[in-house]
Chain A
Amino acid sequence: MSSSDVARQPDPSRSLSLSGHVGFDSLPDQLVNKSTCQGFCFNILCIGETGIGKSTLMDTLFNTNFENFEASHFEPQVKLRAQTYDLQESNVRLRLTVVNTVGFGDQMNKQESYQPVVDYIDRQFESFLQEELKIKRSLHSYHDSRVHACLYFISPTGHSLKSLDLVTMKKLDSKVNIIPVIAKADTISKSELHKFKIKIMSELVSNGVQIYQFPLDDETVAQVNTAMNGLLPFAVVGSTEEVSVGNKMVKARQYPWGVVQVENETHCDFVKLREMLICVNMEDLREQTHTAHYELYRRCKLEEMGFKDTDPESKPVSLQETYEAKRQEFLLELQKREEEMRQMFVQRVKEKESELKDSERELQNRFEQLKRLHADEKAALEEKRRLLEDDQSSFGKRRAAAQLLAAQNLTSNGKKDKDRKNSGFM
């Protein structure tokens, strides 16, 4: 139907000027109100060696005291510890998740140190992808746990990046927005700091590590962001203790030789970090995570599973069709395997049966043999017995004959004796 085709491609938009006040300029307000009711979500990942000041910096950044305990240096493997907090400022509710690495850089063999971090980030992407692919899903009430910003803490050696740093950052740069910071910056002097920053940035560039660049497309903040981009990495000092300087209490670290004020811009870049991370670019960080990093993960994952957008003839293939095709394949595979197993089972049974038959036959043979043997022996014995009986009977006869003879002799001898006696008298 041509009219429905027309409907699908509406006429190209034309600009129109309004002759009066319509009122949709309140739309951004409506949007903001809705978001305020829902609350916001922000997830920060802090990577750095044990004792470099990650927890203290988080405390300082958000002006609270997150419950943290010091980690030991003897962890066998790098672990990640995530904690979620609900913060509120004026009418804005923020669900903040801080993920810290535990035991990073402590092992002797650090080849696999980056793996738990990469796995954690991928797991968050995966659970979001699962939720998005569900049939009955609730995306707007889903607690987004994807990592929006990654603060990488660089040790203040003053020379250059460690190889562990480079390797880890290279693995993470396509998965998360990396913001490198120089920790414990009060151990570096100003001139060293300047050289250190230049060295770090040049190393990152020469190794092709993509760190997060503050966005420049909005004119109101473009200038600030460009300036800040040039000051990366931020050299920060964290402290939750208050020291009195002049006539007020400031967050600072007190040394015998002076006081390092955290919020003093000439002392360290903490204020710049807070401003860039929270006040100016929080929304952009979240957007980058969703539109760039998450989309990349999703694309790779789906392609890995074998889905494509277009089949070999370049016709668009719907995800469902591919999914169904895969499901069919899988079911067929299952059936085939089942068949195979059944065949194997039948065969085994046959084999066993024939074995049993063989042994049965053997037994039968033996039995017959024994029987025959037995019969033979019996016959032999019978023969012997007969002979014996014959002997016995012949012997009996001879004895009888002998007895008879003896009896006859006796009587004849008696007669003889009588005769003698009789003859003697005359």
Chain B
Amino acid sequence: MSELAVAPEVMMPPGSGGIYSEKIAVGGGPVLDFSYVGIDAILEQMRKKAMKQGFELNIMVVGQSGLGKSTLMNTLFKSKVSRKSALATAQEKIPKTVEIKSISHDVEEKGVRMKLTVIDTPGFGDQINNENCWQPIMKFINDQYEAYLQEEININRKKRIPDSRVHCCIYFIPPTGHCLRPLDVEFMRRLSKVVNIVPVIAKADTLTLEERDFFKQKIREELRANGIDVYPQKEFDEDAEDRMINEKIREMIPFAVVGSDQEYQVNGRRLLGRKTKWGTIEVENIAHCEFAYLRDLLIRTHMQNIKDITSSIHYELYRVRRLHENNTVAAQHANGLPEHRLVAHEM
């Protein structure tokens, strides 16, 4: 028997005279509140349904090789989620073009099941000529949107469409300390229109605090100057409360992170960190690096919001574009023009 939770507030509908009821225990049984209907039990129902269904999260990591992407993923999810750990490859050669490799894991915490997919992009920014290295990534993201769209417009469609859309893309900025490189600007400019980008400063333990602040400021200025809107996007703030919270986050991005999956003894506790001759950098210490903020943003507070923005804004934009495209193709057919290949995934 589901508990009849005690609901203190009474509904005050127009014209009913607002009868306040008293809570009277009847013979030791559950307390019956006369004006209580039970509508708020729907929250519990929703929660149960969500727990039963499980969640899906797809994160993409982009950055040059050697910036610590896999380590950061492992640190974020406290397990060996990265591709390198999962597939034991002897030696990683730098691929000639950007490849897209994704690995899925089923993780569970306190009854909440999640299917986590980490999408890696080896080869990004590693060639001599890096023009158009974002193209395979754009294509991959748009392919996922396309797959979802196809499933959605099917006549017989599945009860729950498997969501393989990229929810969040973590972009690793090398810690030069100066400013963004042309590759960074170009990539973020193009991809911020189709996916939520979270820029992070990788290997932040090479920067002192002053250098870090300076670097962050330069990056923020450059992002603003180029019109790049990274997550949390200003235009999607819903109300004043949202804006307040998001402003605080926006003042801190990009997060300067350090990743590690090894534990060391610090002050009698075992903590994740990097041990060097001059000290141990604690990953989860906010005085040392901002990993904890990143983790809180991504996982503990804004995960649902990230998924919502992906599905209701980025995906819808893609859908609108795609459906309009079809109209123009058909119009060309009607006019007898030869059909030319629409590179739909080119931005």
Q: Which residues of A are in contact with B by a Cβ distance under 8 Å?
A: 3-4, 6-8, 10-36, 40, 61-65, 67, 85, 87-92, 94, 135-137, 139-140, 217-218, 220-221, 224, 248, 250-251, 263, 274-275, 278-284, 287, 291, 295, 298-299, 302-303, 307-309, 318-320, 323-324, 327-328, 331
Q: In the bound complex, what is the Cα–Cα distance between A3 and B339 (angstroms)?
A: 28
A87 and B13 in contact (CB under 8 A), knowing A27-B114, A31-B46, A92-B39? yes
Given A24-B303, A283-B46, A318-B153, decide whether A63 and B78 contact each other with a Cβ distance below 8 A.
no
Assess whether A303 is in contact with B330, with CB atoms less than 8 Å apart. Answer: no
A82 to B308, CA, bound (A): 32
Q: Is the CB of A13 within 8 A of B106?
A: yes
For residue B112, which residues in chain A have a CB less than 8 angstroms away from its CB? 24-25, 27-28
A13-B105, A140-B312, A307-B155 known; A89 vs B37 contact (CB < 8 Å): yes
B43:A16 contact, CB within 8 angstroms: no
Q: Collect the chain B residues with CB atoms within 8 Å of residue A34's CB.
A: 304-305, 308
Whether A283 pairs with B42 at a CB distance below 8 angstroms is yes
Distance in Å: Cβ of B329 to nearest Cβ of chain A: 8
When the two chains form their complex, are residues B102 and A7 in contact, meaning their CB atoms are under 8 A apart? yes
- Whether B39 pairs with A94 at a CB distance below 8 angstroms is yes
Interface stretch, picked from B4-12, B223-231, B248-256, is: B4-12
- Is B109 on the interface with A (CB-CB < 8 A)? yes
Bound Cα distance from A343 to B40, whole angstroms: 69
Binds A, one of B48-56, B62-70, B192-200, B209-217: B48-56
In the assembled complex, 24 residue pairs joining A and B whose CB atoms fall closer than 8 Å, in A order, are A3-B100, A7-B101, A13-B104, A14-B106, A18-B79, A22-B77, A22-B299, A26-B301, A27-B50, A28-B47, A32-B50, A34-B305, A94-B39, A263-B32, A274-B38, A279-B4, A280-B41, A280-B45, A282-B39, A303-B155, A309-B154, A318-B150, A324-B327, A324-B329
User: A92 to chain B: which residues have CB within 8 Å?
Assistant: 39-40, 42-43
CB distance from B241 to the nearest CB of A (A): 10
A3-B100, A218-B52 known; 9 other A-B pairs, CB under 8 Å?
A: A19-B79, A27-B112, A28-B47, A30-B302, A88-B9, A137-B316, A274-B38, A280-B41, A324-B330
Q: Contacts A10-B117, A309-B154 given: A4-B139 contact, CB under 8 Å?
A: yes
Q: Do A16 and B79 form a contact, CB below 8 Å, given A34-B308, A278-B39, A320-B326?
A: yes
**Beta-carbon contact of A30 and B45 below 8 Å:** no
Judge whether A11 and B46 touch: CB under 8 Å. no
- Say yes or no: A23-B2 contact (C-beta < 8 A), given A13-B104, A287-B49: no
In the complex, are the beta carbons of B41 and A282 less than 8 A apart?
yes
B320 touches A136 (CB 8 A): yes
Q: Which of B41, B105, B296 contacts A16 (CB 8 A)?
A: B105
> Cβ of A64 and Cβ of B320 under 8 Å apart?
no
Question: Chain B: residues with CB nearer than 8 A to chain A?
Answer: 1-2, 4, 7-9, 11, 13, 15-16, 24, 32, 34-43, 45-52, 55, 57, 76-81, 86, 99-112, 114-115, 117, 119, 136, 139-140, 143, 147, 150, 153-157, 159, 164, 295-296, 299-305, 308, 312, 316, 319-320, 323-324, 326-327, 329-330, 333-334
Chain B's nearest CB lies how many Å from the CB of A422? 137
Are B101 and A3 in touch, CB under 8 angstroms?
yes
Contact A87:B11 (CB < 8 A) given known A282-B42, A324-B330:
yes
Q: Which residues of B contact A218 (CB under 8 A)?
A: 48, 52
Is there contact, CB below 8 Å, between A89 and B45? no
Q: Are B8 and A8 in contact (CB under 8 A)?
A: no
Residue numbers in A under 8 Å from B136 (CB-CB):
4
**A344, B259: Cα distance in complex, Å:** 81
Task: Tell me the smallest distance from the CB of B141 to a CB of chain A, in Å.
Answer: 11
Q: Which chain A residue lies CB-closest to B317?
A: A136
Q: How far is the CA of A402 from the CA of B329 in the complex (A)?
A: 118
Contact for A279 among B2, B153, B159, B305, CB less than 8 A: B2
Distance in angstroms between the alpha carbons of A10 and B164 in the assembled complex:
10
B47/A320 in contact, CB under 8 A:
no
**B164 neighbours in A (Cβ, 8 Å):** 10
Report B-chain residues with C-beta under 8 Å of the C-beta of A15.
105-108
Complex alpha-carbon distance, A28 and B53, angstroms: 11
Q: Which of A8, A11, A19 contacts B104 (CB 8 A)?
A: A11
Q: What's the least CB distance linking A237 to chain B, in Å?
A: 16
Please measure, in the bound complex, the distance between the C-alpha atom of A279 and the C-alpha atom of B155, giving whole angstroms. Answer: 34
Contacts of A10 in B (CB 8 A): 102-104, 117, 164
Given A65-B13, A275-B38, A16 and B156 contact (CB-CB distance below 8 Å): no
- B4: which A residues are within 8 A, CB to CB? 279
